[in-house]
Amino acid sequence: MKITYLSHSCFLLETASHTLIIDPFLTGNPVAQAKAADIRCDYVLVTHGHSDHVGDAVEIAKNNDATIIAPYEVADFLSRQGAKGHPLGLGGGFNFPFGRVKLTIAFHSSGYPPETEKGGFVYLGVPAGLLIEADGKTIHHAGDTALTVEMQLLGQRNKIDVAMLPIGDNFTMGPEDAAVAAEFLKPGLTIPMHYNTFGLINQDAAAFVRTLASRGLAGRVLEIGETITV
């Protein structure tokens, strides 16, 4: 499987048979290099309703006749905008043609920002993380979340090859909590995400990886646009 980091919490996963994009926030993202119009994929996975995760999901799904896989209310909200949606609930998984996707617990919030100055988020249920099994590999994308003890259970019950964990602080776990999350999850490789996109979430990702190393855990900072094969 090939994993390409497109910035923030957005990754492109190329399995043997299909291409998936996760949390495709490209338009309006000050550090993204890829353009939504250029993305080719079969599935769009969205962890929750915040605009820095929904991003270009509908446009990309429509361009590619791709299916959006998301928590129930997010999938419903986006399918009303003309995309194909596959809803999942927390703890629920489904076997797709490329492999399995299960929603994991994320402690965060989920709402789409108001389109008028009057305010009023469109609230979109509970946020989630993703457990993706494809090509014999298990990938965990934590979405936006606080450190939770549920991660211990996830690590006990799954042999996670790669974990993508938010380290930005302010809206999600910061580096200290994310390092504990990695200890709980025991992944073969941890990739930091959700940092340095805008000022409130500036972090030293290399320092985070050094912290992981001091605890016997492998981490790797991916440059924007960098691809690794796992």
Name the binder of 59 from Ni ion, Mn ion, none, CB < 5-8 A by kind: none
Identify which range of 26-34, 141-149, 155-163, 213-221 contacts Mn ion by CB under 5 A. 141-149
Note whether 8 binds Ni ion by CB under 5 A: no
Residues binding Ni ion: number (CB under 5 A):
2
Note whether 52 binds Mn ion by CB under 5 A: yes
Identify which range of 45-53, 85-93, 112-120, 218-226 contacts Ni ion by CB under 5 A. 45-53
- Nearest approach in angstroms of CB 49 to Ni ion is 8
3-state secondary structure string across the chain: CEEEEEECCEEEEECCCCEEEECCCCCCCCCCCCCHHHCCCCEEECCCCCHHHHCCHHHHHHHHCCEEEEEHHHHHHHHCCCCEEEEECCCCEEEECCEEEEEEECCCCCEECCCCCCCCCEECCCCEEEEEEECCEEEEECCCCCCCCHHHHHHHHCCCCEEEEECCCCCCCCHHHHHHHHHHHCCCEEEEECCCCCHHHCCCHHHHHHHHHHCCCCECCCCCCCEEEC
Q: In angstroms, how far is the first alpha carbon of the chain from the final one?
A: 6
Name the binder of 42 from Ni ion, Mn ion, none, CB < 5-8 A by kind: none
Structure tokens at 222: 């991916």
- Nearest approach in angstroms of CB 50 to Mn ion is 5
- Nearest approach in angstroms of CB 218 to Ni ion is 26
Nearer to Ni ion, 115 or 223 (CB): 115
Note whether 144 binds Ni ion by CB under 5 A: yes
- Nearest approach in angstroms of CB 166 to Mn ion is 7
Nearer to Mn ion, 54 or 160 (CB): 54
Note whether 144 binds Mn ion by CB under 5 A: yes
Which 196-225 positions form the footprint of Mn ion (CB under 5 A)? none
Nearer to Ni ion, 8 or 50 (CB): 50
Of 8, 50, 102, 186, the one binding Ni ion by CB under 5 A: 50
Please count the other Cβ atoms lying within 10 Å of the Cβ belonging to residue 186.
Answer: 18
* Binding site residues, Mn ion, CB under 5 A: 50, 52, 144
Residues making contact with Ni ion (CB under 5 A): 50, 144
